Amino acid sequence: MGDFDQPEHGTTPSAGRPAATPLLPPVEVPELPPWRTRARTPLDEKRILEEVGPGTLESGRVMALHRTAQTRARLYAHHLRLLATFFSEDPEVQGRPDDADLSALKIAAGLRCTYGQAWSQVRDARTAVEIMPLTFEYLRRGEITEAMHQTLLRRVRRLTDGQAALVDAHMAGVELPSVSVDTFTRQLRLAVELATAGALPAPPSQSRDVEIVDVDTTNGTASLLVTGPVLEIKGLAHRLDVAARDVQRAQRAALAEGAEGPLPFDIDEDLARRGRPLSLRTLRYAILTHSVLDTDPVQETASPYKLLVTVPVMTLLGRDDAPAMLEGTTPIPAELARELAGGESVWTRILTDEVRGTHLPVMPETYRPSAAMRLLLRLRHPVCAAPGCDRPTATAAEDDHILEYDHEHPARGGPTSLANLHRLCWQHHQMKTAGQLDPTRDPGEGEDPSAPMTTRWRLGDDLRTTTQEATDLLTPRSARALEHAWAEHQRSASEPAAPARRVIPPGSPPPDLGDPPF
């Protein structure tokens, strides 16, 4: 990318002012191996100027962008080194990858990012600085871009440390400062294939995951991404396709014969009116979402999974089109919210403060929160209460007493109240039980039911941060809509009533108006 010379640490000393102290001690740069792969034409400043023409306005702008990319790469390298140093010197972790959870929580508090993002950055920093120092040196000098290095890290995340080191050695033999992105990507693919073949085979367990992606709040839809070994995913797709075709044939035959009674897999009980079977696309979805999950010998949870949809009252009345909130995090359109509400036989009233949107509390007197309190806890903590954690609490979370409950002497321990409760994912609940996390709340928390609860956290020995529970974001809007509707009602009630009009049906005799006034 050329040679844009700029010191990585500290600042340029000015008159009468000493240079700033470097943030980190200098690091020994490993000697790079001799080039093995060379580009046909070096991608340097000379070539860039040849492409756009020297001395033009465009050339100046291109070079400004080029040098900006170099600076970003060097800052990103500095960022990774800070993370790696923090992780390796954290006294409660001491560089053990399996114990990176606490470091990730601390870093999430410092970077104002989620716990998952911080954990991923810690892992990438360790890989870049400790396992792949040769390519990291190119990044530190600004000779590969930030995006190229992030691509490199993504491709080696599922490799062993030894395999990642082999990829590092291969890529260091490529003339990285001058190759195109396409050449870099092809060389990287080759390096991964070489590293996972022969004496160092790839790990037998491949990535398997199911996650919700692409939540579209405009039409209330979402996508489920299933990732796994290609043969297993192909097999799943084939089974869904075969099952959908079998059901479609059965539906077509039942409709042709005019069968009475329920039709096969008639999810919406609408096939008879439609007069044709469902499409294969619709049937694949219906089979996947309505089939019983086979987890034998483990018994499936008997209690149904409840989704919380909070609908503003003015939206239900049709006086406003504010969206509803699914699990307190995802907006869904007003029309869909009204349709969902209309199909339910039981509604639960949730009271919130009209200004701040705080969910108003209820008070049980036992160790276990009541059903109403657990409902409010889900609304107040739609994700894990630990700072930076974004795991949803709808299913795999646990109610936790901030000040521990005393089972032998309940009056001496922390009460079962909203002021002393929050919801944690199982992992951070374990860390809190082990003393790695220490949440506290002020004694006065909860005295003002309209004020959101603030929790103070101690992460390790010396790091402090705060979190605040979630509030209903739509309450202030609903309050304004109610005030507007009430003002309209009062204005219409105060206006004089219009005189009643007499309607004479056609063909009726004219009314008797009395004698004329003359």
Is cis: bond before 506, omega within 30 of 0? no
Residues 187, 233 share a domain: no
Residues 215, 325 share a domain: no
In a domain, 13, yes or no: no
Tokens of 26: 């200098």
In a domain, 116, yes or no: yes
Tokens of 380: 């107040």
pLDDT band per the 50, 70, 90 thresholds, residue 83: very high
Residues 6+ apart with CB under 8 A from 147: none
Q: How far apart are CA 337 and CA 331, in angstroms?
A: 10
* pLDDT at residue 346, rounded to an integer: 66
pLDDT band per the 50, 70, 90 thresholds, residue 24: very low
Tokens of 87: 């992780």
Q: Quick one: average pLDDT of 470-497?
A: 80
Strand order in the sheet with 324-326: 309-310, 324-326, 330-332
> At residue 363, what are phi and psi to the nearest 5 degrees?
-130, 105
Residues 389, 481 share a domain: yes
Q: How far apart are CA 307 and CA 378, in angstroms?
A: 10
Residues 6+ apart with CB under 8 A from 311: 324, 337, 338, 340, 341
Query: Is 21's pLDDT higher than 90?
Result: no
Contact 453, 439 (CB under 8 A): no
In a domain, 300, yes or no: no
* pLDDT at residue 127, rounded to an integer: 94
Residues 136, 91 share a domain: yes
For residue 332, give its domain range.
Answer: 305-485
End-of-domain residue from the set 147, 172, 195: 195
Q: How far apart are CA 68 and CA 58, in angstroms?
A: 15
C-alpha 49, offset from chain centre: 42
> What pTM does this model have?
0.55
Residues 334, 438 share a domain: yes
In a domain, 80, yes or no: yes
- State whether the Cα torsion 51-55-61-65 is positive or negative: positive
Mean pLDDT of the residues in the chain: 76
C-alpha dihedral over 427, 428, 434, 435, to 10 degrees?
Answer: 170
Residues 267, 174 share a domain: no
Q: Is 297 exposed, middle or buried (0-12, 13-18, 19+ CB in 10 A)?
A: exposed
Q: Kindly report, residue by residue over 281-310, the tens digit of the pLDDT.
A: 888 888 888 876 666 665 555 544 567 788
In a domain, 146, yes or no: yes
End-of-domain residue from the set 168, 195, 222: 195
Q: Give the rounded percent of residues in the chain with a pLDDT score beyond 90.
A: 13
In a domain, 98, yes or no: yes
**Angle (deg, nearest 10), helices 57-89 and 45-52:** 150
End-of-domain residue from the set 252, 267, 290: 290
Residues 315, 269 share a domain: no
Tokens of 252: 């077509």
Residues 100, 50 share a domain: yes
Tokens of 107: 């870093």
Residues 61, 100 share a domain: yes
Closest CA relative to residue 328, chosen from 303, 351, 353, 310: 310
* pLDDT at residue 231, rounded to an integer: 67
Q: How far apart are CA 343 and CA 326, in angstroms?
A: 16
Residues 361, 227 share a domain: no
In a domain, 10, yes or no: no
Q: How far apart are CA 69 and CA 63, in angstroms?
A: 10
Tokens of 194: 């070489």
Q: Kindly report, residue by residue over 202-225, the tens digit of the pLDDT.
A: 444 457 888 877 777 667 778 888
Q: How far apart are CA 192 and CA 200, in angstroms?
A: 11
Query: Is 512's pLDDT higher than 90?
Result: no
Q: How far apart are CA 218 and CA 222, in angstroms?
A: 11
Contact 174, 211 (CB under 8 A): no
Q: Quick one: average pLDDT of 421-428?
A: 90
* pLDDT at residue 56, rounded to an integer: 61
Contact 90, 103 (CB under 8 A): yes
* pLDDT at residue 199, rounded to an integer: 40
From start to end of 469-516, where are the E strands? none
Parallel, antiparallel or unpaired: strands 324-326 and 421-425: unpaired
Residues 366, 436 share a domain: yes
Q: How far apart are CA 147 and CA 151, in angstroms?
A: 6
Q: How far apart are CA 491 and CA 512, in angstroms?
A: 38
Q: Which residues pair with 458 in a beta bridge?
A: 438, 464
Residues 437, 353 share a domain: yes
In a domain, 465, yes or no: yes
* pLDDT at residue 51, rounded to an integer: 53
Residue corresponding to tokens 């890989």: 127
Q: How far apart are CA 481 and CA 489, in angstroms?
A: 12
Number of domains in the chain: 3
Q: Is 211 exposed, middle or buried (0-12, 13-18, 19+ CB in 10 A)?
A: exposed
Distances (CA, A) of 31 to 28, 131, 153: 9, 15, 21
